Amino acid sequence: MPYRRPSRSALLLFLLLAPLAACGDGSDGDGPPEVLFSGAAGELVPHGVGRSAAYRVTATGEGMSDQSGFTSTVVEEQADGTFVTRYVSATGAMAESLSRDTGSEVRVERFVNDPGGAEEKVVELAPPVVVVRTPVVAGDPIESSFARTLELVITVQDTVIRRQVLFTGSARRVPEAREPVTVPGGTFDAIRYAVSARGEVPIPVVGQTILLSVDVTGAEWFAPGVGGVKEDLELLLRADGERLTVRLLTERLPDDAGAGP
């Protein structure tokens, strides 16, 4: 049965599990690499229970433009440093992550797509996804797993199917610089990471299974005391020789804003 490329990528659900890309060594060659941040990892990814943030996601590419959003809320925290974050999209799709704060790292150890739903998928991430590591030294790479939830519209023959899918794979993240970044939620003093990753997921569609892969490149920004404030990523989606390139711009909204378009 022939496969036609996904007609649009409507939503990026998961901000904090961004993959990351290679870049320079962060040094000008005349001295040691620059230390961009020396505090605790929990300052870059705050995780007190009830802490919530809303994000706007703009997807563009190949004649398509769409805007949506999601909220992330810490719903549970334990004395051993583990905490659970729930992600809810503007369409009502949901995901959860179990993370651990070791003091020098915040890492995601488990990810659940559609928890309690018909398409629930639990992934134990080995190695974990290292979201941040401190001290943050320019050019010091983080190699880890990759987990990313996307809500896609897939067209096979005349059948249009909307699916929330969980890509898993490998990622590389490299801190590059500390700089001001402006988003709808304000202007933040943030650390910019270069990001690259690759993942794939098999998707059952109309009696067949499609292996959908994604390659990700771009940048993300984390602000001390705030968390993730921005992602600017290019996604190359491929299946059966077809390909679709989508740019996803994720921006933090004001604290009193919702996650709608």
Share of the chain above pLDDT 70, in %: 83
92: which residues sit within 8 A by CB, 6+ positions away? none
Residue 9: pLDDT above 70? no
Residues 119 and 244: their CA atoms lie apart, in Å, by: 24
CATH level 3 topology of 4-252: YmcC-like fold (2.40.360)
Residues 6 and 99: their CA atoms lie apart, in Å, by: 31
The reported pLDDT for the residue numbered 23 is: 29
The reported pLDDT for the residue numbered 163 is: 72
The reported pLDDT for the residue numbered 7 is: 32
Residues 1 and 12: their CA atoms lie apart, in Å, by: 28
User: What average pLDDT does range 6-28 have in this prediction?
Assistant: 31
Residues 93 and 70: their CA atoms lie apart, in Å, by: 9
End-to-end CA distance of the chain: 35
Residues 113 and 98: their CA atoms lie apart, in Å, by: 12
Residues 243 and 8: their CA atoms lie apart, in Å, by: 12
Is the entire prediction scored with pTM above 0.75? yes
State the pairing for strand pair 208-223/227-239: antiparallel
Q: Which residue did the predictor score with more confidence, 2 or 236?
A: 236
Residue 16: pLDDT above 80? no
> In which band, very low, low, confident or very high, does the pLDDT at 8 lie, cut at 50, 70 and 90?
very low
Query: pLDDT digits over 94-147, tens only?
Result: 989 999 999 999 999 998 988 998 888 888 988 888 999 999 999 999 998 888
- Domain regions of the chain by residue span: 4-252
The identity of residue 86, as a single letter, is R
Query: pLDDT digits over 200-252, tens only?
Result: 888 777 677 878 888 999 999 999 999 999 999 999 988 877 888 989 999 99
Query: pLDDT digits over 147-184, tens only?
Result: 877 777 766 666 677 777 778 889 999 999 999 999 99
Residues 202 and 213: their CA atoms lie apart, in Å, by: 9
